[in-house]
């Protein structure tokens, strides 16, 4: 997806070769998510960096206001998503692995905001990657009521316990 300086709201996809230059915008939000225990699959910040730079995931910034150029838009982004293409027997899905805000809004509902505001962009990106679905996972109970508003349905509930 190309940056459009006239478009108010858009996803700006970051090439894996650009990650080092923008990492200072991403890392603090990832650290905050880990501190708040918002990583049910137990990733750590270096896992995310390595996944993006190796091509296993894609980083995209979310912008809410036009900016004169792509760099300015990235530097003033409201948040970001880390996406993965996941292949399965029912086809491929664009999986929203991580969604975070980089602005000062502390509502804790970055995913809902991203899905509401960037639904069309996510669909376009999913089509670009030849995916037939968009998925996400969360350990937050509010998604039981909110996710259907965005067209999502529950596919499974996964439970875990440590081996003793």
Please list the pLDDT of the chain residue by residue as tens digits (164 residues).
688 888 888 999 999 999 999 999 999 999 988 887 767 788 999 999 999 999 999 999 999 888 999 999 999 998 999 999 999 998 999 999 999 888 654 444 555 577 788 999 999 999 999 999 999 888 777 888 888 888 889 888 777 777 88
Q: Which pTM was predicted? A: 0.88
Question: Domain residues of the chain, as ranges?
Answer: 10-150
* Count of Cβ atoms closer than 10 Å to residue 6 Cβ: 5
Cβ(85)–Cβ(129) below 8 Å: yes
CATH number of 10-150: 3.40.630.30
Concatenating the DSSP letter of every residue in 5-72 gives TT-SSEEEEEPGGGHHHHHHHHHHHHHHHHHTT--TT---HHHHHHHHHTTSSEEEEEESS--SSHHH
């Amino acid at each position: 997806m190309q940056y459009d300086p006239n478009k108010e709201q858009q996803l700006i996809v970051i090439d894996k070769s650009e990650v080092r230059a923008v990492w200072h915008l991403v890392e603090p939000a990832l650290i905050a998510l880990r501190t708040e225990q918002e990583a049910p699959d137990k990733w750590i910040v270096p896992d995310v960096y390595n996944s993006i730079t190796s091509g296993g995931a894609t980083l995209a910034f979310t912008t809410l206001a036009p900016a004169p150029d792509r760099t300015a838009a990235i530097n003033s982004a409201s948040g970001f998503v880390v996406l993965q293409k996941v292949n399965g027997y029912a086809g491929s899905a664009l999986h929203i692995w991580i969604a975070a805000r980089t602005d000062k809004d502390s509502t804790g509902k970055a995913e809902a905001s991203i899905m509401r505001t960037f639904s069309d962009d996510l669909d376009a990106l999913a089509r670009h990657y030849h995916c037939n679905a968009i998925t996400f996972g969360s350990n937050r109970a509010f998604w039981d009521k909110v996710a259907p508003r965005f067209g999502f349905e529950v596919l499974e509930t996964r439970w875990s316990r440590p081996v003793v």
